[in-house]
Chain A
Amino acid sequence: QLQLQESGPGLVKPSETLSLTCTVSGGSITSSTYYWGWIRQPPGRGLEWIGSFLYSGSTYYNPSLKSRVTISVDTSSNQFSLRLTSVTAADTAVYYCARIYNHYYFMDLWGKGTTVTVSS
């Protein structure tokens, strides 16, 4: 049973960099069948796609976040990471990692999410 688990600091200071990791168990992030991605949800609001990658292909970012976001991959640990620079209070959210089925582009498995608060 494939599972995704987000991890990282729950509190980040304004102007600093948010870093999160998604650990995938029960399946490989190198599979060409799936993209992998990050989605966030500010308190009381809707879902916002941050970025996605296909291991054997490209990485895509939300245009509104592109200048601040990097997604990287560690195949040895079967993990992928999110880095968001110059954070503000507007980046406070629950951050989810998810598996995305290639060719149909839906998110079929999600992590439980991790809450990140941006505050001094």
Chain B
Amino acid sequence: EILLTQSPGTLSLSPGEGATLSCRASQSVTSRYLAWYQQKPGQAPRLLIYGALSRATGIPDRFSGSGSGTDFTLTISRLESEDFAVYYCQQYGNSTWTFGQGTKVEIK
């Protein structure tokens, strides 16, 4: 089973600042099978990025994904108030899906 480790656990930033979230896999992940989600309190997760770098429908271009192999990154170029949330990476491999433990982006 491929494990995903996200860092940092919490990111304290101000609106307008940029955010860089990391997702590291215990073994190589096919880039096409790496996704990112945003979750706000009391809501279901929302798909942001799929295939490591493709934005889902309706996702603003301040969100971008990059990476390959075992290291993937979600970048938010300029944080807006609605971006403060928890972010999860997710991978598929060997007929199983796994999620990272999440990174919380909070207002500083």
Interface residues of A (CB under 8 A from B): 37, 46-49, 52, 58, 60, 62-63, 96, 100-101, 103-108, 110-113
Contacts and interface: CB of A to CB of B under 8 A. Distances in A.
B80 interface: no
Contacts of B99: 46-49
Given A47-B99, A49-B97, A49-B98, A104 B47 contact: no
Interface string B83-108: 00000101010011111111000000
B35 interface: yes
A60 B90 contact: no
Nearest to A52: B97
B50 interface: yes
A38 to B, nearest CB: 11
A97 to B, nearest CB: 10
15 contacts: A37-B97, A46-B100, A46-B102, A47-B102, A48-B99, A63-B96, A96-B44, A104-B33, A104-B35, A105-B35, A107-B37, A107-B47, A108-B47, A111-B44, A113-B44
A31 B44 CA distance: 23
Contacts of B45: 47, 96, 107, 110
Contact of B92 (A46, A58, A105, A112): A105
B19 interface: no
Q: Counting chain B CB atoms within 10 Å of each CB, which of A58, A105, A107 scores highest?
A: A105
Contacts of B96: 49, 60, 62-63
